[in-house]
Structure 1
Amino acid sequence: MTPLLEVRGLNKSYPAGRKGLFGKRMMQVLRDVSLTVQPGEVLGLVGESGSGKSTIGKAILRLIPSSSQAMRFDGQDLNTLPSADLRRLRKDMQIIFQDPYASLDPRKTVRAVLSEALDTHDLHRGAARQPRLTALMEMVGLNPIFLDRRPHEFSGGQRQRIGIARALAVEPKFIVCDEAVSALDVSIQAQVLNLLADLRAKTGISLLFISHDLSVVRYISDRVMVLYLGRVMEVGGADQVHFAPRHPYTAALISAEPSLGHAPDRIRLTGEIPSPLTPPSGCVFRSRCPYALPACAETAPELRPAGEGRLKACIRDDILQGT
């Protein structure tokens, strides 16, 4: 099957500080990230804050400049696509933001918010507009009588549903969910996750679901990609990665999840994620890895097969096997 989205060798750097004698100092936040998303698939992207997850989503949507060996969506080369064609393609590529309040204009009614998305792509004009707005509200579990209310009149969960309706308004093929439930209470998180799962089943839409919570990612994703300091650590099926991690960082993320009872074999991380300005040599995770060897400081490991169609970036094969 041809992927809906294919990204190879994605890199992103930002200038850091003033220009010195040898030019501007650059901070690399993404290094050689590759991924694919199949039609109708949910790819989960997980990692700590500062790992580069949101940067990947914004780079794919061309909201920020980046460089890559290849970036193709629905057969079109995003790296060479003229701006006019990219504008038309944005109909098929949407985003749901983390903050359900900041992402909505407080001056506009829900009707205006949804209509703006439709007007941008010249959809459902005239008499077709109201039925479409009604259908969108019902699709996300909101009463259409709320169309003339403003964002401050809704709860956080309801505002996020409005954000989802706005993304769905133009009938996209692909949505980036950028920490779309992290600002919500746990019970509301479950409602929004169930809504996204139902919409995916009904519409066949593809999602890039970004979160720092591996259990949330596992719930909605088909496959999971684990990111650390802008590098991919592990890729595999959602249940595979959660129940039998192959990379120490993945195991550490799982260990950080709330658990009933004693778990003596937990991997506990110490310290903060290093700065992208001064990443560790070799494997970027080695400074926090309990299994690090001297060789880990010498060469950055490449993603390689780890059994059952999985990938990991670790030189060791004698750990986390059969877990």
Structure 2
Amino acid sequence: MTSTVHLGLPMAVPDPELPSAVRIYEVGPRDGLQAEKVPVPVEVKAEFVRRLVGAGLSTVELTSFVSPKRIPQLADARELAALTDFDAGVRHPVLVPNARGLEDALAAGAREVAVFASVTESFSKANLGAPRSDVAAAQALVTKDALAAGVDVRGYLSMVFGDPWEGPVPVDAVVEASVAMMETGVHSLSLGDTIGVATPGHVRAVVRALVDAGIAVDRIALHAHDTYGQALANVYAALTVGVTEFDASTGGVGGCPFALSATGNLATEDLVWMLRGLGIDTGVDLTTLVETSTWLADHLGRPSPSRVVTALAPSITDRSELT
């Protein structure tokens, strides 16, 4: 006699003290693929984006208009933009490092851009080749020009919770950098745990300090890395203090190519699984997402590091099972 194990979805047990819905800011096509050593064909990237949209993700970060010498994997930004429907009702932000990047992004049809800076001096010099003050000034100008062009601007801050060269990052330094970036006009702020060293208490302390400094919690997002296996715990901690936007990468691919010890992003599937268990709406079809991850893994030539993908991929024989 044999039995069938039904994996299904986790039982939803809503917590009235947590948000009822969140936005997942999918970064797979940009942050997920940027560190890949072997070029990923632009047609594969475009199909990846289409599959993510088909899974119900309402925000899919597309690419970065950066120098090909800096990030060769994203040299096809214009081609990918040309293969993307910016009028389909899905947000497709693109990262822009400077005025030239913004000019190219606008010419390609982008409706939303993201700018970035670092809380720490060491990473600013390693990543952008300039001191924090110079990077902040350039970011402010790019944001001003983007807003004048009628596009929304998101702000990324790197090294919010720790830096491989400088060690722990003081919360006061995070508050100072965050307030300065918000004052340039960005509509939201993504807190980057670039090397994955954050822990739940640290996350809550940073978010509370930002709110105390006058930044509305609905304008704060968390960008978690799972270097030490803390990403989901950190997401839960952020939920408890009101954060409702989380960055994640389908399949858990990616990481910062300019940060020592920065490993993969939080896997979107793992995030969706936990949120479903908490009764929090994401609008994402987990079956389609897992299928997308296994499809991408085949193109990258290695299995997805996502625990949920590993658990569910063999069992998906009927699309109705997980929806």
Both proteins in one fold, TM over 0.5: no
More helix by share: 2
TM score, norm. by length of structure 2: 0.42
What is the TM-score with the length of structure 1 in the denominator? 0.42
